[in-house]
Chains A and B, each alone.
Chain A
């Protein structure tokens, strides 16, 4: 039952995404129209805490609960991969009003339209994987 902790962490994440309204289509529209600090405050504060947190984890060489070192995986630099991939993701984020986590939050919250979004997201991932070596990375 070593996976129970991931279910609990995911449950907390789902509750936070709903209660913060970060999973709300309305809030995403408001964010892309720059009409409230709300979403910028959420992401900005998470990063403002996250940067020193990661810094200290690295500096103190902290261990995870099993005693293994906490490792970070640097991402290889590329312009087309992150620019094109990111832009396509952003188009979908604004259109569906949800990124992958909030898609699942909304299904749990009882909005069946997000089942269509989830199935299509899995399909989009498959099409990416299928054409991966033909795309600029």
Chain B
């Protein structure tokens, strides 16, 4: 049980992600999470505004059930499978870099100052979260997939397009982290 309550090492996690991909293939589906965002648009009536959303969303309902499971999994892991005083142990160099930007010492799973309930009354913070989410949703659909669809499924299938998408993920991520973070935070 102790092994479950501790954070899982990368070599366990990486193998389990491959197992999930196999499970989805065995279920006759291709593993890709961000398609759900398009399905949610259609369910909210976006098909009246753009042909991109005109499809039978019920054919994608399996993926929404996967999404519901993902929510439940996050809840179970945080509430039942983790120590209460748990903090993500990142490299000391990252801690120093984040402190230099004005972030406090890491506490918990993600920074409360950005994602906790009180952070929702900080409008500058909400604007940052909204901008981040907007680019994730826009970019995932523009690139035809996210980390699961391209970095995991697509590269496992040796798709050159997925490799280019992942190169793009890193161009954007490095630009944000090293150039834009010092301007935003």
Q: Which residues of A contact B (CB under 8 A)?
A: 3-33, 35-39, 41-51, 53-54, 57, 64-66, 68, 70, 72-79, 81-101, 103-114, 116-130, 132, 135
Bound complex: CA A112 to CA B112 (Å):
10
Main SS at interface, chain B: helix
Which of B72, B137, B157, B180 makes the CB contact (< 8 A) with A125?
A: B137
Bound complex: CA A42 to CA B8 (Å):
10
Bound complex: CA A91 to CA B138 (Å):
11
Bound complex: CA A113 to CA B132 (Å):
11
For B24, B111, B151, B173, the residue with the greatest tally of chain A CB atoms inside 10 Å of its CB is B173
CB distance from B179 to the nearest CB of A (A): 10
Known: A10-B69, A87-B139, A129-B41. A54 touches B156 (CB 8 A): yes
B137 x A121 contact (CB < 8 A) = yes
Q: For residue B143, which residue of chain A has the nearest CB?
A: A85
Per-position 1/0 for B5-46, Cβ under 8 A of A: 001101111111110111111111110011011101100101
B140 x A33 contact (CB < 8 A) = no
CB distance from B125 to the nearest CB of A (A): 8
Size of B's binding interface in residues, CB under 8 A: 127
B98 x A29 contact (CB < 8 A) = yes
Residues of A within 8 A of B12 (CB): 20
Residues of A within 8 A of B91 (CB): 30, 35-36
Q: For residue A66, which residue of chain B has the nearest CB?
A: B28
A32 x B75 contact (CB < 8 A) = no
Q: For residue A4, which residue of chain B has the nearest CB?
A: B65
B116 x A112 contact (CB < 8 A) = yes
- In the complex, besides A45-B13, A120-B134, A126-B53, 14 extra interface pairs with C-beta distance below 8 angstroms are A10-B70, A16-B73, A22-B13, A23-B109, A29-B98, A43-B152, A74-B157, A81-B143, A89-B135, A91-B180, A92-B132, A93-B147, A108-B72, A121-B136
B177 x A32 contact (CB < 8 A) = yes
Residues of A within 8 A of B178 (CB): 32-33
B15 x A92 contact (CB < 8 A) = no
CB distance from A104 to the nearest CB of B (A): 5
Known: A10-B70, A11-B69. A87 touches B156 (CB 8 A): no
Q: For residue B22, which residue of chain A has the nearest CB?
A: A53
Residues of A within 8 A of B46 (CB): 126, 129
9 A-B pairs with least C-beta separation: A86-B168, A14-B73, A10-B69, A90-B172, A108-B74, A45-B14, A50-B156, A89-B139, A92-B135
Bound complex: CA A70 to CA B31 (Å):
12
Known: A10-B68, A72-B30. A110 touches B164 (CB 8 A): no
B168 x A83 contact (CB < 8 A) = yes
Which of A32, A45, A83 makes the CB contact (< 8 A) with B18?
A: A45
For A13, A75, A93, A104, the residue with the greatest tally of chain B CB atoms inside 10 Å of its CB is A13
For A8, A17, A37, A129, the residue with the greatest tally of chain B CB atoms inside 10 Å of its CB is A129
